[in-house]
Structure 1
């Protein structure tokens, strides 16, 4: 008695048992589907990673703004670095950080502020025009030439001399940024409590939208994981059926 005479090509050896040919095909199809599901699950996990990182950035920004609100003086104002006054939305950029991905701020709308700018030294104290003179007198002629070319309307050393002890304050952000670059300082802008609380509410609204996206994303991920488990169970059943078929053939050969 041969194996072919017992099982036969494409035949079944009993109720609920599939042939090896059909079983092999079913098993390969299951493996291919698992591979595709793994790819999709990996993509969803990366999306969730980015989404959670963006939500964290929003929470940190809201906490930062709350600290600034607490620092407001009696007139309801506080000075903050110009870079902190930017309004915008946080997004996940897969190309950030050298291609490893990261959260970036996309600027939107006008910056917060009353239009009053100042320059502060590295130690946090307010700079004066004397600091500009010191920088002008100590840097190389090449750098001075660069300043004259890039900031021609702001280069006025004689005026700086007459205002040596006056703090650097202006309503021109470009001038403040030029002076800060020359002396290695930081541009500060005055913002109001209302501006800070308004931006906080805007960010909370965006965060609420992201929370809904996260819930939908988790539901989709759970569906994919459930489908993957079903396919793996199918593959396991096929293997079990093939094993039973093989054992039945072997038993018949012993007869």
Structure 2
């Protein structure tokens, strides 16, 4: 005989564009919201601002607030690293509390020590769990919202390092590491010399976390006949040229 269990539904709204895209003033996931969507401040030790957590659900929620580092995929997409916290660097005035329906609470955020490199780009994860389980075989909804904490360096430093070019999936790509301390977009151009001559292409802008590595797309493989290619790459960041290199790869 099957056992009846109460299912739990996790509602998630992740700020995957939170490194710098235009975002709404607040994020909401069903019965939970956080404002602002991006908390931005200079990376100075002390108070760097506050967020407002609101419960618009019909039941009380047990809230937890956790600063976490971003994890960036080679595609450029970001997500919070739930295996780590930044509590030794970022402090919050209330880590855990209960919100009654229709109420809200302001949580102050402090930078506890100067971050390495002078800047910190992090996620603020807010989870709301109902204080009462759903009756019978109902669904208990848990809410998880992710906003962005962007603490910028007093002096911006731009820089990228160009790695190897290769074919990955349906694209020819080049690996790029951000050696600076900003998330200003990395863009540029490439001149491809291959079996059918020379082709000039632009490289779409991508934001890369400091220290992170992202694959920038050079061209779709469907546009490249099989053979050997030489790519002459020029990259810009913050409105200035920051790197150039020549790389070879085979299609």
Fold equivalence (TM over 0.5)? no
TM-score between the two structures when normalised by the length of structure 1: 0.22
Q: TM-score, normalised by structure 2?
A: 0.22
Greater fraction of residues in helix: 1
In our comparison, the structure showing a higher alpha carbon Rg is 1
**Higher relative CO (CA 8 A, sep ≥ 6), structure 1 or 2?**
1
